[in-house]
Chain A
Amino acid sequence: MSKQEPKPEHLIEAVLLVSATPISPPHLSSATGLSKEEMGAALENLTERYAPETSGIVLRNVAGGYQLSTNPGCSGAVERFREEARAAPLSNAAHEVLACALYLGPVTRGAISRVRGVNSDAVVRNLLERGLLSEVGADHEAPGSPALLSVTDEFLAATGSSSTDEFPPLGSLVTPEELSRVHERLTSAATPPEDSGDTP
């Protein structure tokens, strides 16, 4: 039996199989020796082959790269086999801190606390331990050069996003009507009631 040359799909499959993290297209191209066109065609074929409807393994385009993962429909079997429960969902506070880092980042802990109105250090620490946040630098203009926080590739993979550009703009999340209602309530609450003459 003659040894056959592996197809581009086979090369990409093999490399993706042995990586626990998403692989960027340039990195994938470098490892497989495939051209950009060959990669594109092969990835298209693999996306069809590893569609959730046809396979227990799915090809995901997350965190700026490609990754083979289990089909979420099979997650129960995977969790039973690995004898581990799915990680507990994040708290509301954790989602707010991540939203701050995603939309306003890189931000300091102090900036996150100011936006939320409460101290967020414990939540930030928890998210750093989970790998969803990371320190990407320091704000040298602020006293003490506090660390700047940003979301990580693990965050993008956990949210099924290829990049931060996939998230809707912050301004589009609240309608102008809601904003005007907030403004109206606050300004009307601050306006002193007219003197009715009943006060002693």
Chain B
Amino acid sequence: MTFEPRGRSLSDFTVELDVYSGPYEWLLALILKDELEIFEIPLRKLVESYMGARERDPTNGLERDTDFAGSASALVLLKSRTLSPAIDAETEGDEDEPHSPEELAQRLTEYLKIRRAAEQLRERFAANAGYYPSAHTVPPRPGRLRVKPERVSLAARRAFSRLIEPPVRHLGPITVTLQELAGMIRTVLATGPISYEILTRDMDRLNTAVAFAAALSLAQEGSLTLVQTEPLGPLTLEPTA
């Protein structure tokens, strides 16, 4: 466990434990993400090692001590909460707690057996860790191939039936095209730059929108340049050189 020289707080504090080796801050992150079990972290060893590293390099000692004390006390709290007996609604009122030494012995016996079984499982997992099965994965099964004729005819009726035309009487006739307005812009630009406001001053909303689309189209093909010095400011159309 070491401090890199001239580090910032605990960012350079590295940890070497049996279950983890690397930056201390990553250790905290792994514990918070449940990637590491808190009760497998020897907190006493962690603190002792920190004290040893601190004595060797007192740079920013107070700041580091404060940070470490804060995070280490959080780890102690987390570990104590994790190790405290589980609270179960079924066992409310300590009904499940062993009352006599015999009951406690029975509970410990059961745990001892599970503990031994866990050790055996560890060995079995380790002995079988190097087997890799075929990487082939079966493609998803196709859907049902048998379809009832009634469902086919229903689907066909829906597919080929004529849709009701939506009413369009409220829409006005289209009186302008993109090509027309692009031609008009080209003509105007032959005399020099023009602002978009002046260009669309006498146009209705439809023509104004189509004129903007035409200007964008011409700018994209390189026929003109759109100049706007500030966001939402006046827009000027300039002919390209």
Contacts and interface: CB of A to CB of B under 8 A. Distances in A.
Contacts of A114: 86, 88, 91, 96
A37 to B, nearest CB: 26
B135 to A, nearest CB: 7
Nearest to A91: B37
A14 B27 CA distance: 46
A79 to B, nearest CB: 8
A193 interface: no
Chain B: interface size category: 35 or more
B110 interface: yes
A187 B117 contact: no
Chain A: interface size category: 35 or more
A110 B85 CA distance: 11
Contacts of B115: 96, 99
Contacts of A36: none
A186 interface: yes
Contacts, number: 169
Given A19-B138, A122-B34, A158-B125, A115 B110 contact: yes
A91 B133 contact: no
Chain B binding surface, main DSSP class = helix
B203 interface: no
A117 B85 CA distance: 5
Interface of A: 16-21, 58, 60, 67-75, 78, 86-87, 89-93, 95-96, 98-100, 102-104, 110, 113-120, 122-123, 125-126, 142-144, 157-161, 167-168, 170-171, 173-174, 178-179, 182-183, 186-187, 189-190
B127 A160 contact: yes
Given A98-B118, A189-B101, A174 B111 contact: no
B34 A126 contact: yes
A198 B34 CA distance: 52
A174 B109 contact: yes
Interface string B79-114: 000111110111100001000111011011111111
Contacts of B36: 91
B89 A143 contact: yes
A170 B117 contact: yes
Given A114-B91, A122-B34, A92 B40 contact: yes
B25 to A, nearest CB: 20
8 closest A-B pairs by CB: A72-B130, A75-B130, A95-B118, A99-B117, A113-B86, A173-B116, A160-B128, A190-B101
